[in-house]
Structure 1
Amino acid sequence: MVDAVHNTLPPPLLPQLLAPLRRRWWLMPLMMVVITALVLVKLNREPTMWTAQIEMFPAPAAAGVAPRRGIAGIAAQAGGGLAALAGSLGGGDAAPPFRYFLDGLSTPEVAARLAEDPVIMHQIFGGEWNPETRQWEEPHGLLRILGKTLFGALGLPAFAWTPPDAERLQAYIDDAVNVRRSVKSPLVTITFDHWDRAFAASFLNRLVATADAELRATNAARTAANIAYLSERLAATPQSDARESLVAALAEEERSAMLSAAELPYAAEPFAPASVGRWPSRPRPLPLLVAGLIAGLLIGAALAVWLDRRRPPAPLPVIA
């Protein structure tokens, strides 16, 4: 009786799950080989990307600028409408130059200055430059044709191709340059990826230098205008109290002009020039190969279970 009850119990669950894998064990190594081969094909076709990075911190000269200085300080003291102009004149609660530097890496002015260099434009938009005709040409790849067709089918606007210019370079910088801020210190890391290892570092150096120079030029122009205005008001103001305020404001503007004229970084200073690591940042072969092996193993196991469930049922016994 006990033997009869024992024979009617269902078999353990684990052997049931492992049975399809034991019957079709060869599917797992087969799929591992297939997936690994696909990963190797992807690695061979994907271009090698290098990451250049540069660490920046606020320039000591600009970091020491007083929060209210020069003509902006006078505007803030006057109140009313003049106080509202204090921030735009460089005082009040205006952001420090280092913040403007970080936000200004992809401004139209910086992109326009970089777009004047043909070497930069040919490296970034190399797929659209024909060295034989020395002209920009619209790419005619399969993906572009499919994209136009899909946009037309969906009723979406398909923008016409335009030769690379400052506007396109600005969009490229905004997408390709990353800024990582530290929550513990004012240190900021700026990175840029490109397939040309040497160009990645040189472009990043050129970008930060151009952004800093643009801020320096803007500050120099504003300070020169403030100095001219204060000098004119000082010559036409005989009162002693007003003259003291004008003289103090003029001294602050002269100090700012000297900071702009110094041959040192104005808003941001690098610890060292941009550097590139010894190994490419993309693709990363080892993680991709490991992921391919694991994916092949799981796909093979799932395929073995699926094929086992699709087996035709055993024929019913024939009763004589």
Structure 2
Amino acid sequence: MPGLMDGAHETYEPAVLPPLLPRLLAPLRARWWWMPAGAALLVAAVLVYLWRAEPEWTARMTVYPAPASEGLAPRPAGLAGLVGLGASLGVGGSKSGDAPPFRYFLDGLATPDVAARLAADDALLRTLYDYEWDADAGQWRAPGRGLIGGARDLLFGLLGVPVPAWRPPDAARLRDYIEYRVEVVTSVRSPLVTISHSHRDSAFAARFLEAVVAAADAEVRRADAARSAANIDYLSRQLAQTAEADTRLALVEALAAEERSAMLTAAATPYAAEVFSPAVTGRFPSWPRPVPLLLAAVFVGVLLGAALALWRGWRSVE
């Protein structure tokens, strides 16, 4: 049976599969046009956004510690102990570590007191929250929720997160605005500090920044003036009642330091922060930035098209 014998000696070779990488990339070769199509779609979406977006302008101001306050003589931290009346009187040394006013100025830009000063300016609030001001009715009105606001409220409701009720612009809302929209950048090479703020109105961006800096400086001045006045009153009364020579000397030195501080707060010059460069805006809007957005759209669009092509190809193989 030669036929059977011949078949018994036949060999079967396994099928040769192409390398793994070409097999994985085969869907990209078959649907390569998905990548430029994805880039084109995202570029079109970005162009629509750029066409409809309202540009924002960034104002920047550079400040540094005011020379007068930097030369402020430190208050004696142990004054109450020197006069033998106990630290509970809280006289002198009320500033932790005798920090200069400039430090409190920077930390106090978004404090409730600064926001309250600014909120007293109705024109500022109406410009800042113009979309909530009804000029015809002469009153504030709640803005429309819109698609994004409605979706957010629905999501918060499903998650059990309380949705805050709308309230007219006030000092609390202004404080939040300053905290999130006023940026402070400290230089590592010099005492200069850059403060910036962005707004749709380039002129208002600069005016608001100047108002915030002036309000913060005035608030630091007010707090230090009140503290100096209280300490001067206390020290003057103690000096009139004390006969011991060493105690009187300590009181006189402390009183001189407080009076010098009071004179600095009364001067008509900047107290905590001196302006090095006034608030100015650039020639072009700071947002949106067309070139980075378009480049990102091309990159993300290509990646998205490639991912869809791979997913479609691998799924058809399954």
Give TM-score scaled by structure 1 length. 0.85
Contact 2:78–2:93 (CA<8 Å) still a contact in 1? Answer: no
Judged with a 3 Å threshold, the aligned counterparts in structure 2 of structure 1 residues 28 and 242 are, in CA distance, closer, same or farther, namely closer
Determine if the alignment matches structure 1 residue 157 to structure 2 residue 177.
no
Determine which of 203, 209, 212 is the counterpart of 1:204: 209
Match of 2:59 in 1: 52
**Amino acid aligned to 2:136:** E
Cα-to-partner distance string for 1:271-298 (whole Å, 9 max, x where unaligned): 1211222222221111111111112222
Equivalent pair of 1:220/1:260 in contact (CA under 8 Å): yes
Is residue 96 from structure 1 mapped to residue 103 from structure 2 by the alignment? no
TM-score, length basis structure 2: 0.86
Residue identity matched to 1:252: A
Q: How does 1:253-264 map to 2 (within 5 A)?
A: 253-264=258-269
Q: Which of 40, 47, 51 in structure 2 is aligned with 1:40? A: 47
Q: Residue 140 of structure 1 aligns to a residue in which SS?
A: coil
Counterpart AA for 1:192: H
Measure the CA separation in 2 of the matches of 1:296 and 1:234.
78
- CA–CA distance in 1 between the matches of 2:121 and 2:309? 59
User: Does structure 2 conserve the Cα–Cα contact (< 8 Å) formed by 1:32 and 1:294?
Assistant: yes
Distance 1:299 1:157, change over 3 A: closer
Aligned-partner residue type, residue 28 of structure 1: M
Structure 1 residue runs of 5 or longer lacking an equivalent are: 314-320
**Residue number in structure 2 paired with 1:229:** 234
- Is 1:109 equivalent to 2:113 in the alignment? yes
Q: Which moved more, 1:151-160 or 1:27-36?
A: 151-160
Aligned residue number for residue 318 of structure 1: none
- CA gap 1:31/1:79 in 2 versus in 1, 3 angstroms: farther
Distance 1:234 1:188, change over 3 A: same
Aligned to 2:6: none
Structure 1 partner of 2:308: 303
Tell me the residue number matched to 2:8.
none
Letter in 2 for 1:98: F
Contact 1:77 1:83 (8 Å CA) reproduced: no
Distance 1:7 1:157, change over 3 A: closer
- Structure 2 CA distance for aligned equivalents of residues 218 and 178 of structure 1: 24
One of 117, 123, 129 as aligned partner of 2:133: 129
Q: How far is 1:151 from its partner?
A: 2.9
5+ residue gaps, structure 2? 1-10
* Cα contact 2:82–2:250 (8 A) shared by 1: no
CA contact 2:65–2:274 (8 Å) conserved in 1: yes
* Range that drifts further, 265-274 or 176-185: 176-185
Note the alpha carbon deviations across 1:157-194, whole angstroms, 9 max, x for none.
22222111111111111111122223443322222121
SS of the equivalent of 1:266 reads coil
User: 2:122 matched to which residue of 1?
Assistant: 118
Output the aligned Cα RMSD: 2.7
SS in 2 for 1:274: strand
| Change beyond 3 A, Cα 1:6–1:267 | farther
- What is the percent sequence identity of the aligned residues? 53
How far is the alpha carbon of 1:247 from its aligned partner?
2.0
Q: Take 2:81 and 2:243, find their aligned partners in 1: how far apart are those partners?
A: 22
Secondary structure in structure 1 of the residue aligned to 2:60: strand
Q: Aligned residues, how many? A: 307
CA distance in 2 between partners of 1:12 and 1:232 (Å): 95
